[in-house]
Amino acid sequence: MYNGKSRFNILRLTQSPDFKLYYMKGENKMFHKSTKQIFLGIFITLLITVPVYAVKEFKISNYGGGHQIWFEAEDYDERNPDTDQYFPVVDEAGAFGRAITRAGGAGGMISWTFNIGAAGGKAGTWYFWGRIINPSNQSDFMIVQGNPGDPEIPTEPPFPGSSSAPGFTDEHRIFEEDTGPPWTWGLTNHEEAHTKQLQDNENTMYILHRQGNDTMFWDVFMWTDDAGYIPTDEDYENAIPGGGYGWALKPDPADDAFYSDTWVSLSWRPGDFAISHDVYFGENLDDVNDGTADAFRGNQAMAFLIAGFPGNPYPDGLVPGTTYYWRIDEVNDANPDSPWKGPVWSFRIPPKTAYSPNPADGSENIRMDVKLSWMEGFGAKMHYVYLGEDFDEVNNATVGIPHGSTTYNPGPLKLAKTYYWRIDEFDVTGTHKGDVWSFTTEGAVSGPNPADGTVNVSPTQILTWDAGAVATSHEVYFGTDADAVKNATKSSPEYKGPKALGEESYDPGKFLLGTMYYWRIDEVNGVNPDSPWAGNVWSFTTGDFFVIDNFEDYDAGDNQIWYSWHDGLGYGVSGIDPYFAGNGTGAAVGDETTASYTEETIVHGGNQSMPVAYDNNKQGYSKYSEVEKTLTATRDWTKDNVAELSIWFRGNPASVGSFVEGPVGTYTITATGEDIWNDADQFHYAFKTLTGVGTIVARVESVEQTDDWAKAGIMIRETLDAGSKFAAVYITPTNADGTPTQGCRFQARTDTDIDATSDTSVATAEQMALTAPYWVKLDRDFAGNYRGYYSVNGSAWQPMSWNPLNISMSSNVNVGLALTSHNNNATGKAVFSNVTITGTVGALWANQDIGIESNAAEPLYVAVSNIAGAPAVVVHDNPAAAQIDTWTEWVIPLQAFADQGIVLTDIDSIAIGLGTQGNMTTPGGSGKMFIDDIRLYRQRTAP
């Protein structure tokens, strides 16, 4: 097919281990139709014969709450070279199946393709382990395709050897440790080598032979997204055999790629169960996503589609400047999960105009010796360059400088000057006018804040900028007329005075609402004859509101959110600033797991919102939750005729769990939840408060079989947090044939946020044979000892083998009934009777989900205060507002506060709360709210 003499070259498009696809590229991409037909035949032949690689036998698991995928080393994709002697497959005692060892000097490469999607995993940080024998501390190099920082994958021998191999460092060395025999799950002395960024679905790992030593063996490899998980042989044996992955993978062209031709061969890696493929292809994203008739190209057996040829989609060719979308649904009529709807992929044909300018449009601080470059338009043969200092002149010019390459050296440019440039592309059909781009050379003022063109700017915004490199001072111009600001001099009213170097800010005072403003900063250097350098005119538009708080400025430094919004936790150490003791309520503001201590994912506007956890039954606190901010600005709530307060909020849905009594003395609980286990629990809890010693007794009448490890029982728990300490005695479900699943169990978490433990190792055959209905009892003494019991009649109690179990909990705890379905996709039910609790016990039951994102139905209120006097409180009309799980705007007329005696011209503070303000006795529920964009409007109608 190829004799090495044609002007057409065979180029490999991809070196994916899934397939090798080739295409013909010549000097002219606009092929004659008859030539295209020849190429089409070549394409089809190549596509029919491509090999497919991926691990076929694998296991999956969810130990520790993470995801794992396991596969045996001998199930490799390929070796390169495929005849290499470096990775013999051998029989080794104790291996699961066969093993791989190493032989000879350094050289060779071996690869495995695996699909984290089959294990339920997503793109992100994953950790690699291997079951190995390595008594001589030998190591190799591992790289993962697409992992940032890994070198390029070699394509041909010789491969890197020894620790001095170019492109490889200790960060790529694996298994450098003395391990075994016997077989050991090894990590490495270079842990960073075992930490990689994996992409969604399929990934390919490559191990390059570094040290030849046939005393080292590989048996099983495992990837997990749980940094704390350590694999074991038992875990591998108990992992579930992988069921395959039904969806199409590995689109070619790659998703969102630029594709420089007017015809295309779409190809993909078929799903593991596919018999045929439904293909959707078109220019409309919605049509492809929705599977309309216009986008459907048919059901076919082959895993490719040709477009841009006669007799195929787009017979006249693909159109430059167009984005095309495609989707593959995998079909197997014999499988009930079919079809597997694929994601929508896309690729773009470059436009005929130039694109991707460098410097990028609007760039600042560009060197004065910059070379301009761009991506050429589709089919371009010649480029015409236009460059100048005036936008209109460049935009209207008709005679440019002809240029043969996609780079242009404009020669020395001026300091602190904005330049405009344009590239027109000429091809065989004509000239295609380009956009006008701009950049500003170094020395100019830059970094305007607010950025040029910003809308909804706060009326109290202070203007800031970055000084030019040669400036010794600045001149500020500001106004509401663009031309006046552009042409202003120091004698104009728009001139606002000088600013010294280091004082790159200007406070114009409060702006009018809904108004566009313009400003300019000139840079000054008295010893330079070109000074001053006039800056560009920037603009912004104020919003039609005043901002009380948009939560964008809080950080993990000196502006932590709880410094402004005071909650029940407080901060700091008494006597040392900053310090606040807490307001005594059940509110906890902020999120210490994010970089800003705010919520950074669930936001209404901008990048941050305020998370507020509420717990209206928190021991030692008031029975309501409130956060309060003292205002330093925007205290006059009458300025500019504002009349309404707007607050955006979002909660979580109601619990699917429930707790009801009926008939009297019989309690029914429903619950979902993954488990009461590991380091965080998910279940429904009905509870009362308990102080000091106490005992709970209950008869578990029934437990619905949602899983063998569904649990219904009695629990003493320190807090309502998912990782709280607890002690519990459970009855597990009964099988359909009347046999027990796990019987009666005593389980506990002995410290906060650690894995729970069970009495399994000492459980008796008698307790493991128990089924509901059965009695259980749990007590705690002054020393913190917990004892579990079971009984057939509620009077003759059998102590459990684990007794006594000592757990250090606070004096004030919760005591009650617990149920988990041990199945997030099912809601289970349990019935209890004869419940008695002794000790210093609260009078009222409360109930809620633990560890499941749900909110109790608590009133939402806003309180506004002056420096003196009682606050004015307005409560949301929906008593279950906390359970609204979409962003919702709450608009409150300011007159509602004024009617309660508040002086609107001097507001001192605003508070947001859940529950009834001032409630000290009646317990409530808990949950989490998100607050964003608190504003004042003249007039506002909630959407």
- Rounded to an integer, what distance in angstroms lies between the CA atom of residue 255 and that of residue 325? 9
Question: What is the model's pLDDT at position 21?
Answer: 32
Picking from 202-211, 299-308, 603-612, 719-728, which range would have the lowest pLDDT averaged per residue? 202-211
Find out whether 479 and 493 touch, Cβ atoms under 8 Å: yes
Residue 361 Cα distances to 66, 210, 409, 418, 521, angstroms = 44, 47, 17, 11, 21
- Rounded to an integer, what distance in angstroms lies between the CA atom of residue 550 and that of residue 495? 31
Question: Over 50: is that where the pLDDT of 24 sits?
Answer: no
Question: Over 80: is that where the pLDDT of 87 sits?
Answer: yes
Domain at 658-850: CATH code: 2.60.120.200
Question: Over 60: is that where the pLDDT of 19 sits?
Answer: no
Question: What is the model's pLDDT at position 27?
Answer: 34
- Which is more confident, 139 or 731? 731
Question: What is the model's pLDDT at position 194?
Answer: 86
The pLDDT tens digits of the residues spanning 899-926 come to: 999 999 999 999 999 999 999 999 999 9
For 771-780, what is the mean pLDDT? 98
Q: Is 930 helix (H, G, I), strand (E, B) or coil?
A: strand
Question: What is the model's pLDDT at position 150?
Answer: 85
* Domain residue limits, the chain: 9-51+246-348, 58-237, 355-441, 446-543, 544-652+855-943, 658-850
Rg (CA), the chain: 35
The pLDDT tens digits of the residues spanning 218-231 come to: 999 999 999 889 99
Go through the chain and tell me how many residues it has: 943
Question: Over 70: is that where the pLDDT of 84 sits?
Answer: no
The pLDDT tens digits of the residues spanning 266-281 come to: 999 898 889 999 999 9
Q: What percent of the chain has pLDDT over 90?
A: 72
For 348-377, what is the mean pLDDT? 94
Question: What b/e string do you get for 180-195 counting C-beta neighbours within 10 Å, with b at 16 or more?
Answer: beebbbbbbebeebbb
Phi, psi of 491, deg, nearest 5: -95, 0
Question: What is the model's pLDDT at position 3?
Answer: 32
Domain at 446-543: CATH code: 2.60.40.10
Locus of tokens 């410094």: 563
Class of domain 9-51+246-348: mainly beta
Picking from 234-248, 326-340, 483-497, 500-514, which range would have the lowest pLDDT averaged per residue? 234-248
Question: Over 70: is that where the pLDDT of 320 sits?
Answer: yes
Phi, psi of 391, deg, nearest 5: -60, -50
- Rounded to an integer, what distance in angstroms lies between the CA atom of residue 774 and that of residue 323? 66
Question: What is the model's pLDDT at position 551?
Answer: 98
For 261-269, what is the mean pLDDT? 94
For 698-715, what is the mean pLDDT? 97
Domain at 544-652+855-943: CATH code: 2.60.120.430
Question: Over 80: is that where the pLDDT of 157 sits?
Answer: no
Picking from 181-190, 674-683, 770-779, 893-902, which range would have the lowest pLDDT averaged per residue? 181-190
- Which is more confident, 15 or 726? 726
Cβ-in-10-Å burial (0-12, 13-18, 19+) of 213 comes to middle
Q: Is 475 helix (H, G, I), strand (E, B) or coil?
A: strand
- Rounded to an integer, what distance in angstroms lies between the CA atom of residue 798 and that of residue 770? 12
Amino acid present at 48:
I
**Residue 46: which pLDDT band, with cuts at 50, 70 and 90?**
very low
Question: What is the model's pLDDT at position 824?
Answer: 87
For 727-744, what is the mean pLDDT? 96
Asked whether this chain's domains 9-51+246-348 and 446-543 adopt the same fold, the reply is yes
Question: What is the model's pLDDT at position 53?
Answer: 60
Amino acid present at 8:
F
Question: How crowded is residue 939: how many other Cβ atoms within 10 Å of its Cβ?
Answer: 11
Instruction: Give the angle subtended at the CA of 696 by the CAs of 706 and 842, to the nearest 5°.
Output: 110
Find out whether 517 and 429 touch, Cβ atoms under 8 Å: no
Locus of tokens 């500003």: 440
**Residue 83: which pLDDT band, with cuts at 50, 70 and 90?**
low
Residue 442 Cα distances to 464, 472, 529, 530, 696, angstroms = 18, 15, 17, 14, 75
Question: Over 90: is that where the pLDDT of 173 sits?
Answer: no
Question: Over 90: is that where the pLDDT of 488 sits?
Answer: yes
Question: Over 70: is that where the pLDDT of 469 sits?
Answer: yes
**Whole-prediction pTM value?**
0.52
Strand partners, 828: 671
Question: What is the model's pLDDT at position 31?
Answer: 40
Question: Over 90: is that where the pLDDT of 548 sits?
Answer: yes
Question: What is the model's pLDDT at position 622?
Answer: 97
For 826-843, what is the mean pLDDT? 97
- Which is more confident, 139 or 716? 716
- Rounded to an integer, what distance in angstroms lies between the CA atom of residue 109 and that of residue 218? 14
Strand partners, 25: 9
The pLDDT tens digits of the residues spanning 636-673 come to: 999 989 999 999 999 999 888 999 999 999 999 999 99
The pLDDT tens digits of the residues spanning 557-574 come to: 999 999 999 999 999 999
Question: Over 60: is that where the pLDDT of 864 sits?
Answer: yes
Class of domain 355-441: mainly beta
Question: What is the model's pLDDT at position 105?
Answer: 62
The pLDDT tens digits of the residues spanning 788-822 come to: 999 999 999 999 999 999 999 999 999 999 999 99
For 332-353, what is the mean pLDDT? 93
The beta-strand segments (E) located in 194-303 are 195-198, 202-208, 217-224, 240-241, 249-252, 257-258, 264-269, 276-282, 296-300
Domain at 58-237: CATH code: 2.60.120.260
Question: Over 70: is that where the pLDDT of 335 sits?
Answer: yes
- Rounded to an integer, what distance in angstroms lies between the CA atom of residue 629 and that of residue 612? 13
How is residue 331 annotated by DSSP? E
- Which is more confident, 197 or 192? 197
Question: Over 80: is that where the pLDDT of 375 sits?
Answer: yes
**Cis ω for the linkage preceding 804 (within 30 of 0):** yes
How is residue 118 annotated by DSSP? G
Mean residue pLDDT across the chain: 89
Give the containing element (helix H, strand E) for 760: none
Find out whether 382 and 404 touch, Cβ atoms under 8 Å: yes
